[in-house]
Amino acid sequence: MSGTSVPVNATSIMQVEYIDTADAAGGTTTLYDSAIFSLHTGSLTVDKDVYIMGQDAVITLTDADLNLDSGTSEQYDLRLIEWDSSANSSVLLHNSYCTTGCTLDPSNLTETGDNTGVFQTVFTIPSSIAEQGAAATNPEMGESVTLTYRDVGLSGETSVGDDELDIEASFTISKFGAIVELDKAVYDWTDTVVVTITAPDHNNNANSEETIGTSSLPIQANSRAGKMCTTGDKTYTLNETNEDTGVFDGEIALRGFDHTMATSQVYTVSTTEACTGNTGGELSTAGSMDGITVSYEWVDGSVALASAIIQWNIGEAELLDSTVAPGGSSVIRITDVDEDTSSTIIDTFKVDVFSDSDSGGFTATVSETGENTGVFEATIHFADDAATSGLTLRVSEGDTVTVEYTDVTLPGPDYSTSDSLTIAATLTIGTSTPPLERAPAANARVVDAFGSSVAEVSVDQQVQIAADVANAQDKEQAFAYLVQVQDSNGVTVSLAWITGSLNGGQSMSPALSWTPSAAGSYTATVFVWESVDNPVALSPTVSVSIDVV
């Protein structure tokens, strides 16, 4: 049969006969082997269920019937595969048919190796697709796509063409949406807004850092003063944080509005908004309370957005020491983010400093501790033997030193742009003594009218509740001496007080009388306060137990 063509089909059996004329026994043996011919139903797959527009899809066609030459890697053109979606149906992927959007590499279905029967190509998911002679249409996010291979040689059939079957692979074009996030819920009027947009549908190229924000899919920022981008493409742009993240970020600088600041400094903004992505955007604000909204139209007609409040703040003033001796110094600290009018420089403004001895005082310049901190500091000095000069203030023992400025950036709705508030802090000139050590009381005891100790107290006997009180400071201290007597149930049966004053270093033993009306166990507690009207403790309490018979 050499050189003779024999037609076969899926019912054919090929048998091979071999006659061994000299087998091991010296005789003749006939050997047989056989095989059947069959057809195979193919399969079509893609490597993902969901693709982002612009991503690559690996198309795999497995069909042993196409493996006609086991010694070579074969190829078939893409007319074998058809695209079907709502945007465009029945488009063959071959370039002669699909004239727009069909980017394939390789351009044919190529066998993965000799004699594998597996054929692949890489197809870029198009943003528009058209067949020959037709207008291009745009697949939409969320759209389902079916790829079809028509197999004409099916398992179980006798011959090619006896039956046909559409072999399909389906996937969806992603529609994950977008999330817009701002780094704060509340901003000050010249703050920097960090914008982050998560938009995986626009991560089209896994090998590059991409941008979002176009005239058709814009990014916009708004305040009550208006929009940030009003010319050109009318969009801001954000950059991908890295390759293949689908996360895009940038910054927008709030510019505030024209306003006269503390100590009459004038803050002025330009009339032109800046709209240069991704960190050059500038947005004006309006009034003592405003807001910012950043929006992104991630697909036509669908917008994601985030908003935050923009407001002024009430400042805080501190002197970092509560008490300073003459000849010492202290640090002024002002916390007022509204005075931080530029995030790229060290801002300054002025505060007033004066004392009881010099009510005129001087003006000190406080400087920001760093760019964009909103915290301002200056060091001032005190002298009791020289006049006020430079940053040195004339003081005397016992003086109150005051630092103040006028805050003209107060938050709405309680305040308007024309309102102001004096912000102040104070310290005392003198030796610093802990509050509960200024006039400590000790040795609470029961005595008679002559100050002698009473060992036993009887009903209706008048006694004195005494304690030793000393002024631990080097200045006069007014005080109130209070005695509270409670019974064994904690019920107060007597409360009395006297007032007086102690010179620096002076001590005394004040006493208050008490006459018990019933026998029992009692506790007398001694309090030393600045006054009855100002119950600030000058000492820890001391107590004495009393048994009345």
Cis peptide before 443 (omega within 30 of 0): no
pTM: 0.65
CA atoms within 13 A on the CB side of 527: 17
Domains of the chain by residue range: 43-173, 192-202+215-311, 316-429, 436-548
Q: What are phi and psi of 78, to 5 degrees?
A: -80, 10
pLDDT at 159: 85
β-strand pairing of 323-324 with 421-429: parallel
Q: How far apart are CA 208 and CA 241, in angstroms?
A: 10
Q: Which residues contact 264 (CB under 8 A, 6 or more apart)?
A: none
In order, the DSSP letters of 465-503 are: EEEEEE--SSS-EEEEEEEEEEETTS-EEEEEEEEEEE-
Q: Following CA atoms 196, 197, 202, 205 in sequence, which dihedral angle do they give, to the nearest 10 degrees?
A: 20
Report the pLDDT value the prediction gives residue 3, as an integer from 0 to 100.
61
Residue 162's pLDDT is: 86
Q: Supply the pLDDT for residue 91.
A: 86
* pLDDT computed for residue 136 by the predictor: 76
**Closest C-alpha to 513, from 544, 548, 485:** 485
**Res 527: pLDDT:** 96
For the domain with range 436-548, which CATH number is right: 2.60.120.260, 2.60.40.10, 3.40.50.2000, 3.30.930.10?
2.60.40.10
Q: What would the 3-class secondary structure string for 379-436 be?
A: EEEEECCCCCECCEEECCCCCEEEEEEEECCCCCCCCCCCCCEEEEEEEEECCCCCHH
CA–CA distance, 59 with 120 (Å, rounded to integer) = 6
- Distance of CA 300 to CAs 177, 231, 280, 303, 426, Å? 11, 20, 26, 8, 60
Q: Which CATH number fits domain 316-429: 2.40.50, 1.10.472, 3.30.70, 2.60.40?
A: 2.60.40
SS (H, E, C) 127-194: CCEEECCCCCECCCCCCEEEEEEEECCCCCCCCCCCCCEEEEEEEEECCCCCEEEECCCEECCCCEEE
Count other Cβ atoms within 10 Å, centred on residue 150.
Answer: 12
Could you check whether 316-429 and 436-548 share the same CATH topology?
yes
pLDDT tens by residue, the chain, 549 residues: 556 677 777 778 888 899 998 888 888 999 989 888 889 999 999 999 999 988 889 999 999 999 999 899 999 999 899 999 988 778 888 877 777 778 888 889 999 999 999 999 999 888 888 877 777 788 888 899 999 999 999 988 888 888 999 999 999 999 999 999 999 999 999 999 999 999 999 998 888 999 999 999 999 999 998 899 988 889 999 999 999 999 999 999 999 999 998 877 888 887 677 898 899 999 999 888 899 999 999 988 899 999 999 999 999 999 999 889 899 999 999 999 999 998 889 999 999 999 999 999 999 999 999 998 999 999 999 999 999 999 999 998 888 999 999 999 999 888 999 999 999 999 998 766 777 888 999 999 999 999 999 989 999 999 999 999 999 888 889 999 999 999 999 999 999 999 999 998 999 999 999 999 999 999 999 999 989 888 889 999 999 999 999
Please, is 352 exposed, middle or buried when counting C-beta atoms within 10 Å of its C-beta (0-12, 13-18, 19+)?
Answer: middle
